[in-house]
Structure formats: structure tokens, C-alpha cells
Amino acid sequence: MERTPTRRGLAALSVAAGLLAASAASAHPHMWIDARAVIDLDADKRITAVRQVWRFDEMFGAYATQGLKRGKDGSLSADTRAGMARDWMKALGEPISHYFTRVSVDGKSAVFAAPRDARVDWDAKAGRLSLAFTLPLAEPMVLGADGAQIDIYDPTYFVAYAFDEKDAVTLGGPQAAACNRAYRKPKELDWNTMQQLAAIPADPDALPEELFAITKGLTHRIEVRCP
């Protein structure tokens, strides 16, 4: 897999948030996201979109909002949040990054249309930013005999996702009740691999090939089947 476009997408996101300069400490991953995903199905039980919410960790929130004008209650203006959403979605739009999301049926990956409904929210009390967006498929995707697979992950492990909240993965649309979904966490890393990752600088390109071969398999997989 080509790694340069992924690195550019991550670097652009970090720069836009003001985080890159503060990421001098070692250890992969460097950003943590509590995520939610809704897979939309149309009346013909085809996948039409993946709606996601990414809630970033407190450290990211602190640096991303550093120096920004806030209200007396710590809020960020609508214009500021709209600008952040625009910049982040542009950064995540690299062809290889693919918004860190892949939808596939029988090994064939779907193509996304332009994302929509991007929104950044700021929880001043918790110190956490969140990004919500919808990834529509360019063409609705018919499920195969084995259903469809949705993978959400960063192959360089610069970003670590978690789908730990209740109902973090759901189905939406008119045929949601007629279909089933299953979620599978990535495999756990062994102690030796975790120690090696802990020594990697805050640069996706610094990940050695032998570790990249491991981290690119750390996918959060959602399987959708419609009887």
C-alpha cells in the first residue's frame, strides 16, 4: 500500500488542528477517537452511505483550540467550527486515506461521493472536539452472498479508534430492521509490538515496514447482511 498520501492526510489534519508541533513525544498512536457509525440501507437493501461521529481525545481538544477565541462559557463560534470541519474533511480526503473508511463487497471497494453534513462540535466542559460527517457512496452497493464489509482504521496506527459505547454501530434507512450487523474489534497487539510502537516518533512515515505490516491489519470491521 502506498503510504505517502496517508501521511499527507494525517499531517494536514494535525497541522490544521495545531497538534503536530505538540506531538514531540514518542508512542504510537498519537490520537485517540471514540467513534460511532451508522450504515444506511435503501429500500432495496443496498448500502448508500456511512455516517460517522469521531470524538477526539482531550489532548487533541486542548491543542486544537489553543489560541482560538471563545465565549464566556468556553464555546467556539459557529464560523470557527465550520472552518475546522472544512479543513479536516479536506485533509481526510486523500485517495489512499479514503477518510479511513472502506466499504467492500466480494473484495471490491466502493467509491465515495463528496462527503456531506460535516460538523464540528466542541464540548467545553469535557475539553473534547467531535467531527460528524456522512460518506455517501457514489452508487448504492448491492450486498453479496457474504454481505458487505465496512472497515474503519488508520493503517499507520497514528490514530486509534474505539467503538466501545453502547450502540456505537447501528444500521439506518428504510431496511435497517430487515438486516443484521456485526462488529469485530481489531486483534490485540502483543507486548513486544506495543513496546516497539511506543518508541516511534510522531510521524506516520517513521513506522518501519515490519510494524506497518501489522498495524494496517488493525481494522474495526462492521459486517452487514440482509436475509
Round to whole Å and give the CA distance between 65 and 124. 10
How does pLDDT run across 118-172, given as a tens digit for each residue? 999 999 999 999 999 999 999 999 999 999 999 998 777 778 899 999 999 999 9
Percentage of the chain exceeding pLDDT 70? 71
| Structure confidence at residue 172 (pLDDT) | 97
User: How confident is the model at residue 162, as a pLDDT?
Assistant: 92
Tens-place pLDDT, residues 63-80: 888 888 999 999 999 999
Neighbours of 83 (CB within 10 A): 14
